Amino acid sequence: MITNARVLQADWVPREIVHRNPEKNLLQTALQPVADGGRPEDALITGPSGAGKTCLARYSLQQIEEERLDIHTKHVDCWAASKPFRVLLELLDPVAPTHDIHRTTARDTMLSRLRDVDAPYLAVLDEADQLGDPGLLGELYSIPKLTLVLVTNDEQSLSGLFDERLRSRFRSGVHVHCDSYSLDTLVSILDRRARGALEPGAVERPQLERIADAAAGDARRAISILRRAARRAMDDEAGVIDGSHITPAIPEAAREQRQADLERLNDHQRAVYAVLANADGGAAPKAVYEEYTQRVSSPKTKRTVRDYLGKLQSYNLATATGEGPARRYHVVEIDSPEAEPAAE
DNA sequence: CGTCCACTGGAAGCCGTGGCGC
DNA sequence: GCGCCACGGCTTCCAGTGGACG
């Protein structure tokens, strides 16, 4: 059944990107000067989750790496590395020694090491809206050899990190927007993956349509469902993937994502989530806090719990409705359509 | 309609941590 | 070994906002 599992991994970058040609060309035009020794344009990639932003960015990095040997590239996931220190460490990793860098190394030291880099350096900041620090982007942009590609599904909160100077710089840069994939495109993406990963004939078009439909435009989710369905078919020793493999794979993929999101939280944040998960029809902020204090041995303050609630929302684990005293918090149900809302 | 009050989120300051220089 | 410093996580304080209620 599965001949090359790697192709079904979320971070697999295909040899050729076939469904994002205009976007791909736009980005490559912006970045091409790096390969030619010139000054590239600033680039920003926006679009909802699973729309291929990361794939597009990684692909473009690979293309430029293949053209030029004396160029550094790096892909930084700002969700995993949201603190300035972590981002700088990741950025230094391919270009400078980092063994003597520790948690308390001054930011200036790290920045000046980045400034000392002699070759062009192309870095993708994925989920750049997660960068907590508005100053960091400005500092990074002042480094001459460093070209940044910012990737975000939340343009609003990203622009909150811009000061006026950065904003005008980005207005003149290149903005690549990736819309959610249509059903047909998603089927076609799944088809290419299936051909690369599975035995010929292992899955038919109606089954791919079923998966694409459940994924609602999100390629990452679609591929995750296909991977799980293929695994089930293999365990069944079935020659082809059918509905009995796909049906359970759909909620499984959603739960897997939810589980991964929950694991990024600390114990207190998970306790707050548990409070919301237990409350039917949403919970008022006051009730959330009171219930939370019952659940943990040494509760944090209300203010901190408010930050936790904000974090749950940014992880798409919870939503808030109403303003002021009418405020209510709810968990995002994984089976509901808004489980993966198309963020602006 | 005006007042009250719950809630929000920014700002500033505290504190524990852990490497560094002396 | 000791004080220093930067940092992240947290608390404290507070101004602003908007729904609820008399």
Between CA A289 and C1' C3 the distance (Å) reads: 40
From residue A149, give the alpha-carbon distance in Å to each of A12, A31, A319, A339.
Answer: 19, 9, 30, 28
Residue A93 confidence (pLDDT) above 70:
yes
The mean per-residue pLDDT over the stretch A230-250 comes to 94
Nucleotide nearest to A285 (CA to C1'): B7
Question: In terms of domains, do A44 and A159 share one?
Answer: yes
Looking at the structure, do residues A255 and A290 belong to the same domain, yes or no? no
Instruction: Please report the pLDDT score of residue A27 as a whole number.
Output: 93
Q: Residue A290 in 3-state DSSP?
A: helix
The separation, in Å, between residue A104 CA and nucleotide C5 C1' comes to 8
Protein contacts on strand C: list nucleotides below 7 Å from a Cβ: 5-14, 17-20
Contact of A193 with A4, CB cutoff 8 Å: no
Span A300-324, average pLDDT: 92
A37 pLDDT tier (thresholds 50, 70, 90): confident
Residue A132 has pLDDT above 70, yes or no: no
> Quick one: A25 and A138 in the same domain?
yes
> Which residues, other chains included, contact A9 with Cβ-Cβ below 8 Å and sequence gap of 6+?
A227
Q: Which nucleotide shows the minimum CA-to-C1' distance to residue A160?
A: B10
pTM of structure: 0.80
In total, how many domains does chain A have? 3
Mean pLDDT, residues A321-331:
91
CA of A323 vs C1' of C20, distance in Å? Answer: 12
Q: Are residues A209 and A223 in the same domain?
A: yes
Q: Quick check: is A10 in a domain?
A: no
**Domain identity same for A208 and A283:** no
Residue A269 maps to which CATH number? Answer: 1.10.10.10
Report the pLDDT value the prediction gives residue A157, as an integer from 0 to 100: 66
In a domain, residue A167? The reply is yes
Q: Which of A177, A200, A231 is the last residue of a domain?
A: A177
Place of tokens 């079923």: A210
Q: CATH no. for residue A255?
A: 1.10.8.60
Q: Which residues neighbour A39 within 8 Å (Cβ) at sequence distance 6 or greater?
A: A33
The string of DSSP codes covering A128-146 is GGG---HHHHHHHHT-TTE
Which nucleotide C1' is nearest A266 CA? C9
Domain-located, residue A9: no
Domain boundary among the residues A234, A261, A288 is at A261
Find out whether A182 and A209 touch, Cβ atoms under 8 Å.
no
A154 and A252 housed in the same domain: no
What pLDDT, in 10s, does the model give residues A94-112? 887 666 666 666 677 777 7
In a domain, A64, yes or no: yes
More confident residue, A66 or A162: A66
**How many angstroms is C1' of B18 away from CA of A200?**
56
Round and report the angstrom distance from CA (A180) to C1' (B13). Answer: 45
Is residue A332 a part of any domain in this protein? yes
Q: Are residues A25 and A158 in the same domain?
A: yes
- What is the maximum alpha-carbon separation in chain A? 62
Question: CATH number of the domain that A40 lies in?
Answer: 3.40.50.300
Based on the fold, state whether residues A135 and A151 are members of the same structural domain: yes
Q: Which residue is nearest to nucleotide B6 (CA to C1')?
A: A325
A232-255: burial string, b at 16+ Cβ within 10 Å, e else: bbeeeeeeebbeebbeebbebbbe
Residues A28, A132, single domain; the answer is yes
Same domain, A89 and A165: yes
Instruction: Tell whether the model's pLDDT for residue A152 goes beyond 60.
Output: yes
pLDDT of A165: 66
> B7 C1' – A304 CA distance, angstroms?
14
Q: How far is the CA of A24 from the C1' of C8 (A)?
A: 39
Asked if A152 and A208 sit in the same domain, the reply is no
Domain range spanning residue A324? 265-339
Q: How far is CA A309 from the centre of its chain?
A: 20
Question: pLDDT tens digits, residue range A179-208?
Answer: 999 999 999 999 999 999 999 999 999 999
Question: Is position A8 within any domain?
Answer: no
Chain B footprint positions (protein CB, under 7 Å) = 5-11, 17-20
In a domain, A14, yes or no: no
In a domain, A309, yes or no: yes
